[in-house]
Amino acid sequence: MSNLPADLKYTKSHEWVRTLPDSTVEIGITDHAQHELGDLVFVEVPDAGRVVKADEPCAVVESVKAASDVYAPIAGEITAGNPKLAAEPEIVNADPYGEGWLMRLKPAPGALTAAALLSAAQYQQVLDAEAH
Amino acid sequence: MAFIPHTEADVAAMLAAIGVSRIEDLFDEIPPELRARSLSGVPAALNEMEIGRLMSERARADGIALSFLGAGAYEHHIPAAVWAITTRGEFYSAYTPYQAEASQGTLQLIYEFQTMIAGLTGMEVANASMYDGASATAESALMAVRLNRKSKSARILVPMTLHPHYRRVAVATTYNQGLKFEELPYDTHEGVVAAAALAPYDAEDITALIIPQPNFFGCLEDVDALTDWAHARGILVIAVVNPTALALLKPPGEWGARGADIAVGEGQPLGVPLSSGGPYFGFMTTRMEHVRQMPGRIVGRTLDAAGKQGFTLTLQAREQHIRRAKATSNICTNQGLAVTAATIYLSLLGPQGLTRTAAAAHARTRELTAALTRVAGVRLAFPGPCFHEAVLQLDRPVAPILRALASHGILGGLDLGAYHPELGNALLVCATETKTSADIDRYRSALSETLQSVRAA
């Protein structure tokens, strides 16, 4: 049973989305994803100002055994990439929902409601289905 | 060991299992007009004795010329031990070793190679090699575009003093990837990039600047000023260097205030004989902070489960077998055998031996240009410092002179007419440590005689 905070939204490709008070969103990878990847050795995050489409690959997480793209769950403009991860990628393993966030994004108008995000319960079903 | 492990019986059993009678039937779906037909122009097979005789006859027809030709590939003395060791069965494989458990010797050799190249270039990390200097240069341009995320233009400044073949390979390799190469003119009296050539780009979005050292003409560019100019504008610096020259010249890692970002070059001078254009090998180096955007294989040193030193391919998440279409390059192999020779060559010479080789080549080139410019009608094109090549200007077209020299058994250099018509009757000459004063005198008198006879004609 993975750690799935109920206040977050999720994607089938194992990203999480948190809406911040200023209505921008914070994006990371789930506890399940970091666990599957194993110890991260490198994280590449996008630069502020980059405009991304929904489902566009915009970050890379690399572990000792695999490298994987992270997709933008929502269309919008990147407002920040987590600057700590270049030097300390292991933060994503230690605290995937907190200090290990990858990027912040200002959703394009209407993009947040248009995005097909999952609740914690729905994402749990995705994980259950993958396990079988 | 047979490399095709299937016996005829195996093949028959597999075909029977899928219900096909002949291998040929597997290709039925390809329309006949798209099928390659047998090669009609290829003569009948010769046996070993016949082919051996034919090849020795052709080699005799080539003769053994006294060569003053450089222009990217250089004749150096190769100690006999280099290829005697390289061709031992333990090393004699063209293929990169994937299996660490079976290939520790080869992996350690490549690791030592990387260490030597990093040391020569003054850079932090080297890969296991590329195909040649030209392809390494093309890959370095692609790497710079990935690295320089502040630049959106994918514009690369390329001096006209970079080897013309390298420029063509870079364009051909990156043609469909949106890179734009902008040719920087050079000072036709000095043979190097002039500071004024950079002025139009002072405020432009440029991704990288390529700096050849020595350049195609053998001249030395003002690498510190060029590097600092680029870095002050957020432009990455790609050094294209001759490895022998690095024994004497400042390494790219120390150019300007911050050093080059990527350094590449042709490795052939390090123990690989001249051979109709190859196989040679390229080398590629960068700073550690950029290593994940460097293409090619990298061997790393580690500790095994018992705590003993071991070697293995590392950082493979950059490569195509892991990253597929998003790999740093579709070149994920290296020139293992040529690199083996280079590593043994560098080990045998050592730093002092390489420095003496480079100094001897430089001295012989100065001796050559001094001798040839004593001939009436021959002048030195560029007055500045050179490494082991120089451009001469003749008072008449170069091609007939080279043909006449060839009849004396002398390869007199490269006619620059096709590459640099702006230099007039220009001839690129080279002398390495392999040339003696007697060789140089032979060239001088043959040239003098040829010019007199052509003049008389």
Element (H, E) at B346: helix B336-372
| The pLDDT of residue B317 is above 80 | no
Task: Give the distance from residue A92's alpha carbon to the nearest chain B alpha carbon, in angstroms.
Answer: 18
* pLDDT at residue B2, as a whole number: 62
pLDDT in tens, A24-46: 999 999 999 999 999 999 999 99
ipTM of the complex as predicted: 0.72
What average pLDDT does the structure give for chain A?
92
Mapping DSSP to helix (H, G, I), strand (E, B) and coil, where does residue B313 land? strand
Assess A39–B contact: CB distance below 8 Å, yes or no. no
Task: Please judge whether A67 and B323 are an interchain contact, meaning their C-beta atoms are less than 8 angstroms apart.
Answer: yes
Contacts of B149 in chain A (CB under 8 A): 47
DSSP string, B229-285: HHHHTT-EEEEEE-TTGGGTSPPGGGSTTT--SEEEEE-TTTT----TT-S--EEEE
Across B43-56, average pLDDT: 94
CA dihedral B428→B422→B446→B57, nearest 10 degrees, is 60
Percent of chain B surpassing pLDDT 70: 97
Q: What are phi and psi of B355, to 5 degrees?
A: -65, -40
Assess A48–B contact: CB distance below 8 Å, yes or no. no
Task: Please judge whether A67 and B149 are an interchain contact, meaning their C-beta atoms are less than 8 angstroms apart.
Answer: no
Q: Which CATH class is domain A9-109?
A: mainly beta
Between the CA of residue B47 and those of B42, B43, B53, what are the distances in Å?
15, 12, 10
| The pLDDT of residue B75 is above 60 | yes
Task: Please judge whether A67 and B322 are an interchain contact, meaning their C-beta atoms are less than 8 angstroms apart.
Answer: yes
Please name the residue that has the structure tokens 């150019």: B255
Across B129-138, average pLDDT: 96
DSSP string, B382-450: --S-BSSEEEEEESS-HHHHHHHHHHTTEE--EEGGGT-GGGSSEEEEE--TT--HHHHHHHHHHHHHH
Q: Which of B171, B144, B141 is nearest to B234 (CA)?
A: B144
Q: What is the number of residues in chain A?
A: 132
| The pLDDT of residue B1 is above 70 | no
pLDDT in tens, B223-281: 999 999 999 999 999 999 999 999 999 999 999 999 999 999 999 999 999 988 789 99
What confidence tier does A115 reach under pLDDT thresholds 50, 70, 90? confident
Higher-confidence residue of B283 and B329: namely B283
Q: What structural domains and CATH numbers belong to chain B?
A: 66-77+351-456 (3.90.1150.10), 80-343 (3.40.640.10)
* pLDDT at residue A65, as a whole number: 75
Question: Cβ(B161)–Cβ(B215) under 8 Å?
Answer: yes
* pLDDT at residue B96, as a whole number: 63
What's the whole-model pTM score? Answer: 0.87
* pLDDT at residue B95, as a whole number: 64
Task: Give the distance from residue B316's alpha carbon to the nearest chain A alpha carbon, in angstroms.
Answer: 9
Residues 6+ apart with CB under 8 A from A61: A29, A33, A34, A37, A40, A42, A43, A67, A68, A70, A89, A92, A102
In chain A, where the domains are located:
9-109
Higher-confidence residue of B344 and B278: namely B344
Q: What are phi and psi of B250, to 5 degrees?
A: -65, 130
Structure tokens at B84: 């005697």
Which of A37, A62, A64, A69 to mutate to probe the B interface, most B CBs <10 Å?
A62
Task: Give the distance from residue A66's alpha carbon to the nearest chain B alpha carbon, in angstroms.
Answer: 6
pLDDT in tens, B412-448: 999 999 999 999 999 999 999 999 999 999 999 999 9
Contacts of B292 in chain A (CB under 8 A): 42, 44, 62
Q: Which of A61, A9, A1 is nearest to A32 (CA)?
A: A1
* pLDDT at residue B32, as a whole number: 87
* pLDDT at residue B142, as a whole number: 96
Task: Please judge whether A66 and B317 are an interchain contact, meaning their C-beta atoms are less than 8 angstroms apart.
Answer: yes
**Four-residue CA torsion sign, B359, B361, B364, B369:** negative
* pLDDT at residue B129, as a whole number: 94
